[in-house]
Amino acid sequence: MKALLFQEVGKFPTLQTVEKPKPSQPGEVVVKLKAAALNRRDYFITQGLYPGIRTPMILGSDGAGLHNDRLVVINPALYWGHDLRVQQKSFEVLGMPTYGTMAEEIVISSDRVHYAPEHLTAEEAAAIPLAGLTAYRALFTRGKLKEGQKLLITGIGGGVSSIALQFANVVGAKIAVTSGSDQKLDQAKEYGAGLGVNYTDEEWAAKLSAFGEFDLILDSAGGDGFSQLVKLAKPGGTISLYGGTRGKISNLSPQVIFWKQLDIKGSTMGSDKDFADMLSFVDAHKIRPVIDRIYSMEAVDEAFESMAVSRQYGKIVIRISE
Amino acid sequence: MKALLFQEVGKFPTLQTVEKPKPSQPGEVVVKLKAAALNRRDYFITQGLYPGIRTPMILGSDGAGLHNDRLVVINPALYWGHDLRVQQKSFEVLGMPTYGTMAEEIVISSDRVHYAPEHLTAEEAAAIPLAGLTAYRALFTRGKLKEGQKLLITGIGGGVSSIALQFANVVGAKIAVTSGSDQKLDQAKEYGAGLGVNYTDEEWAAKLSAFGEFDLILDSAGGDGFSQLVKLAKPGGTISLYGGTRGKISNLSPQVIFWKQLDIKGSTMGSDKDFADMLSFVDAHKIRPVIDRIYSMEAVDEAFESMAVSRQYGKIVIRISE
């Protein structure tokens, strides 16, 4: 079969012919993939910025394809365990060290396979799993977002933040977003953002503050800006922190945190329940995830380049078969 | 009446004769105080380290005395409001700008007045309100501490941390504590701490780590050490942050917070429900708060000096009448 094979740190995967995988454990099934999607994690792995890298490897956490002649999506959160609060030690994300979705076929435990909501194309279905799961848990399971609440999403445009905006919009949140790109801010407004602020603007915090105090802030940056986020939070509010692209947090005031009785909640991926709840939510609200662009398997380099420079708004999808 | 009057920033209160206060609002009552207790807040105010300082002022958040011939304690959390999650904007702590407990009489709204648990002396009852309320909320309302869980309390010896140790011990937590004083660590062991680690020891984090992963960490320091606390927390664990004596938090890893799905919860004082629940808890478990020393009103300087150098283990109490 054709597969995008990652063979060496520092290089992107290349299109190769490899042996078809075969089920070897009870409960494993074959999914014939129609589309996969990229996540920042895939790019980080190619750059060696991930623990426990093994080669050769088929990357890819997101995939949709056919199983028993129906379109299915794959839950990329492997071995979460039974504690809804936190994943167990053996937790893995599909696509390293377990072979992922950037191939014509994948062998996977049947409990990871869910029928796709019927309103979705294969490419849309592939755009949902990792980002949708992460956004759903950070917004609802951890963040307890409710109708009418004010929400700030930092770094709009990425897979998680763009689907989080869609999720929050359908529940009736009042949403502000930030980005370093005015174009992405404009795009976010089409998906329900009431305010977009460019974080390169020196007045960014003041402009967000004028929008009101935030019941919930979704942040994947950390870094120096985080100390401003606690000031923007409403007393009794929550910050869901699901990434750290800006590195370590500094200059953070304990006084602001305790006087406002804030909750800072770490969130990553999600439990099996989160995944099932997220799919039901996507189905109920007929959400179509934003796709930045669909690439062919031959154009894998371009897909990874786009992720490398964070040019995209929404998901970068790779079409595997028609 | 006699009162300890705070008249000038930089100086401790002095014993003065002042006019007796009289009820002026519906629902106000007079409590004839038998004992008051000091909090770090009182000391900070004398040093000008508090917003909105007014003089002359009767300081004191903690008091116990007679009302209708029964021993009562005063809830020092004024105007919390109806939201259990967070205090409203008009919230105040008794003792600035509202006259406090370091006097022979206080006029206070009757809804702040609770009968003292019957096993307590007046001095013990006075040692409970602010510290007990803060500890109860941080441990239980916010921290959800349960029997058998591992708990770390940093900076043992202060009013809040020492009563938190007593509270946690009676519910069957496994408790480690830190302090810069070996003597305080020894004292903490008498009250149920299973491990005491001196934070001036370079190996402090490793020694705590050997005790196991902490379900809950109670911290009032913040500062540079906080980044180590997230590493000591159990996946799915909580840090209740109720103070910031070491200043701003730096070098904090977002990755550790989100991968472990940690909760960092700010907590200060407590709601009226927290206060009532705390008193019931003290009554049910017949807890006697640790008193470091009881001072006369004439020895107020010594009492404040002791707080200034953090010499105490437990509460510093001022006897007002026999």
Asked whether residue A99 is domain-assigned, the answer is: yes
pLDDT at B311: 87
Instruction: Convert the pLDDT of each residue in B136-181 to its tens digit.
Output: 999 999 999 999 999 999 999 999 999 999 999 999 999 999 999 9
Nearest CA in chain B to A269: B259
| Residue B9: domain span | 2-131+270-319
Give the whole-angstrom CA distance, residue B220 versus residue B241: 6
- At residue B234 the predicted structure's pLDDT band, cuts being 50, 70 and 90, is very high
Q: Are residues A256 and A290 in the same domain?
A: no
pLDDT score for B313: 95
Chain A residue numbers touching B85 (CB-CB < 8 A): 236, 261
Give me the pLDDT at residue B39, please. 97
A216 vs A1, A120, A157, B80, B142, CA distance in Å? 45, 29, 18, 22, 18
Contact A217, A257 (CB under 8 A): no
User: Domain check: are A93 and A24 in the same one?
Assistant: yes
Q: Is B58 helix (H, G, I), strand (E, B) or coil?
A: strand
Residue B223 maps to a domain: yes
Residue A135 lies in a domain: no
Q: Which residues of A are less than 8 Å from B263 in CB distance?
A: 263-266
**A243/A148 same-domain check:** yes
3-class secondary-structure state, position A12: coil
Mean pLDDT, rounded, of chain A = 97
Residues B123 and B7 in one domain: yes
Q: Write the residue in A85, A221, A261 that is nearest to B266 by C-beta.
A: A261
Max Cα distance, chain A (Å): 60
Q: Are residues A287 and A170 in the same domain?
A: no
Smallest CA–CA distance from A84 into chain B, residue:
B236
Q: Is the pLDDT of residue A311 over 90?
A: no
Whether residue B309 is contained in a domain is answered as yes
Find chain B residues with C-beta within 8 A of A267's C-beta.
258, 261
Please report the DSSP string for B8-26 in residue order. STTS--EEEE-PPP---ST
Q: Which pLDDT score, from 0 to 100, does residue A322 have?
A: 86
Judged against a pLDDT cut of 90, whether residue A37 lies above it is answered with yes
Q: Which residues contact A107 (CB under 8 A, 6 or more apart)?
A: A21, A22, A23, A24, A28, A29, A30, A99
On whether residue A47 sits in a domain, the answer given is yes
Q: Which chain A residues are closer than 8 Å to B155 by Cβ?
A: none
pLDDT of residue A226: 98
Whole-number percent of chain A with pLDDT over 90: 98
Are A194 and A104 within one domain? no
With cut-offs at 50, 70 and 90, classify the pLDDT of residue B322: confident
DSSP single-letter state for residue A141: I
Mean pLDDT for chain B overall: 97
Query: What's the rounded mean pLDDT across residues B278-283?
Result: 98
pLDDT of residue A58: 98
Each residue's pLDDT tens digit, B3-62:
999 999 999 999 999 999 999 999 999 999 999 999 999 999 999 999 899 999 999 999
Assigned domain for A186 exists: yes
Please name the member of B243, B252, B257 whose beta carbon is closest to the beta carbon of A258: B243
- Would you place residue A196 in the very low, low, confident or very high pLDDT band (cuts 50, 70, 90)? very high
What's the pLDDT tens digit per position in A138-186?
Answer: 999 999 999 999 999 999 999 999 999 999 999 999 999 999 999 999 9
Residue B265 — very low, low, confident or very high, per pLDDT cuts 50/70/90? very high
Quick one: which of A77, A13, A52, A3 has its CA closest to A302? A13
* Same-domain pairing of A7 and A28: yes
- The answer to whether the CB atoms of B266 and A260 lie below 8 A apart is yes
Q: Indicate the burial class of A142 (C-beta count within 10 angstroms; 0-12, 13-18, 19 or more).
A: buried
pLDDT at position B140 is 98
Q: Which of B224, B242, B266 is the last residue of a domain?
A: B266
Average pLDDT in the A108-118 region? 98
Alpha-carbon gap, residue B212 to B54, rounded angstroms? 47
Q: Which residue, of A266, A289, A306, is where some domain finishes?
A: A266
Do B257 and A266 count as a contact with CB atoms less than 8 A apart?
yes
Assess whether A161 and A227 both reside in one domain: yes
Dist. CA B252–CA B258, nearest whole Å = 12
Residues A148 and A251 in one domain: yes
State mean pLDDT over B236-242: 98
Q: Is the peptide bond before A97 cis (omega within 30 degrees of 0)?
A: yes
Please tell me which of the candidates B241, B247, B253 has its beta carbon nearest to residue A258.
B241
CB-based contacts of A170: which residues, under 8 Å, 6+ apart? Answer: A285, A287
The verdict on a CB contact (< 8 Å) between A87 and B235 is yes
Q: Which of B228, B239, B257, B260 to mutate to test the interface with A (most CBs of A within 10 A)?
A: B257
Contact A48, A59 (CB under 8 A): no
Q: Which of B154, B142, B141, B166 is nearest to B282 (CA)?
A: B166
Let me know whether B167 and B216 are in one domain: yes
Nearest in space to B80 (alpha carbons), one of B250, B274, B241:
B274
pLDDT at A240: 98
Q: B185-194, B271-280, B307-316: which has the minimum mean pLDDT? A: B307-316
Task: Closest CB to A83: pick one of B236, B260, B264.
Answer: B236
Asked if B254 lies within 8 A of A222 by C-beta distance, the reply is yes
Is the per-residue pLDDT at A131 higher than 90?
yes
Residue A136: inside a domain, yes or no?
no
Name the minimum distance, in Å, from the CA of A164 to any CA of chain B. Answer: 17
Q: Are residues B117 and B147 in the same domain?
A: no
**Which ipTM did the prediction report?**
0.97
Domain boundary among A243, A266, A289: A266
pLDDT tens for each residue of B87-96: 999 999 999 9
Count the domains in chain B. 2
Nearest to A258 among B253, B261, B267 (CB): B267
A126 and A219 together in one domain: no
Residues of chain A with C-beta less than 8 angstroms from the C-beta of B243: 254, 258
B137 located within any domain: no
User: What CATH number does the domain containing A185 carry?
Assistant: 3.90.180.10
